[in-house]
Amino acid sequence: MASDEIIRLAEDIRSMRIRGAAEIGRAAASGLKSYALGSRSSDAPSYMEGFDEVYRLLMNTRPTAVSLANALNYIRHRVLGAYRDGAPTEVLRQTTIDASDAFLKSSLEAVKRISEIGSKRIRNGDLIMTHCNSSVAISTLIEAKRQGKDFSVIATETRPRYQGRMTAKALSAAGIPVTLIVDSAARYFMPKVDKVVVGSDVVTANGAVVNKIGTSQIALAAKEARVRVYVCAETYKFSPSTMLGELVEIEERPPTEVVPEGEIAALGNVKIANPAFDITPAEMIDAIITERGVIPPQAAILILMEEFGYRIGEEQTGRVFVEEEER
């Protein structure tokens, strides 16, 4: 059974108290670790039963960010391997803890490496536009500032949850001049912008990037104005299931995020749609900055093949494959 602590963690992800793809992935990994630390199971099958319950609880918190599935599957793949080899509960517990720690460590290292690589793309005098609140994009900009580069940023407010305010605050606190704009002003400012730098929730096999709703409009405006678009994405944001043609589910969030509960009725018979993410095709992205280096978006498939070991007929580690797998 999932502990109160794990149920709270799942609720924090669902309600976006914990948010942003990287943070969601790390939170999911820490959830499985917390299961391992708290589990009282004395036999391996009951440990695995509880493990899978927590795995499913966390997996179903938010549908889009593949970092969540990749973090959970990274750990489950190792624990399941040990279980199949006949490992006793104590070994399963330790495998869970070690895999979770390894994911957390490599995730933080990836952010650091992307910041080092990405900061090289920022030049003195640049005006950078960013959207939403990507910890990896922010960390890249802060690293450039730390190197003494003199540039400024336009942050979109990012309706309906206003994550752009957090971005503006963080960049400003790091001494970077920031202007906060409404989302619909992105094209108006684009001709003055030198680069767009955003994060990613998912990179698909064909090099498309799924990120906060509005990202594709910004990329379109950037393409029109011949402004380069860089996406900062750790390799655990790459989606293995898209290699086999799976589509990325776009999360639809509650209408009350757009119009407050008490004001909806006054609108009359109006339907409110609130998709949280959109898809920017590879053609609108100049480069994806990963911890493995800078790649053209069309090379996403190579990263996926290397990271997830895709070979025809072999076991997969992506969300769909693991869910279908028999224990």
Residues that bind ligand RUB (CB under 6 A): 19-23, 65, 132, 134-137, 163, 199-201, 211-212, 276
Q: Specify whether the CB–CB gap between 249 and 66 falls below 8 A.
A: no
Least distance (Å) between residue 134 CB and ligand RUB = 3
Active site residue 132: yes
Q: Smallest distance, Å, CB 43 to ligand RUB?
A: 38
- CA separation (Å) from 282 to 51, 207, 210, 285, 286? 37, 5, 11, 5, 8
Question: Locate tokens 């095709």: which residue?
Answer: 281
Q: DSSP character for 20?
A: S
Q: Nearest residue by C-beta to ligand RUB?
A: 199
In the residue annotation, 12 being an active-site residue is answered as no
Q: Of the two residues 30 and 89, which places its CB atom closer to ligand RUB in the complex? A: 30
Amino acid at 3: S
Nearer to ligand RUB, 276 or 284 (CB): 276
Sign of torsion, CA 110 138 7 37? positive
Q: Could you say which of 126, 132, 183, 286 is catalytic?
A: 132
End-to-end CA distance of the chain: 19
- Residue with structure tokens 């400003």? 172
- Report, in Å, the least distance between residue 265 CB and ligand RUB: 27
Find the catalytic residue in 126, 201, 232, 286: 201
Least gap, CB of 199 to ligand RUB (angstroms): 3
Tell me the closest approach of the beta carbon of residue 23 to ligand RUB, in angstroms: 6
Provide the residue type at 313 as one letter: G
**Calpha distance 201→234 (Å, rounded):** 10
Q: How far is the CB of 210 from ligand RUB (least distance, A)?
A: 8
Nearest to 251 by CA among 14, 10, 5, 2: 14
Q: Nearer to ligand RUB by C-beta: 36 or 186?
A: 186
Q: 3-class secondary structure for 65-127?
A: CHHHHHHHHHHHHHHHHHHHCCCCHHHHHHHHHHHHHHHHHHHHHHHHHHHHHHHCCCCCCCE
**Closer by beta carbon to ligand RUB, 133 or else 316:** 133
* Residue 53 or 257 having the CB closest to ligand RUB: 257
Cβ-based nearer residue to ligand RUB, 132 or 196: 132
Q: Which residues are catalytically annotated?
A: 132, 201
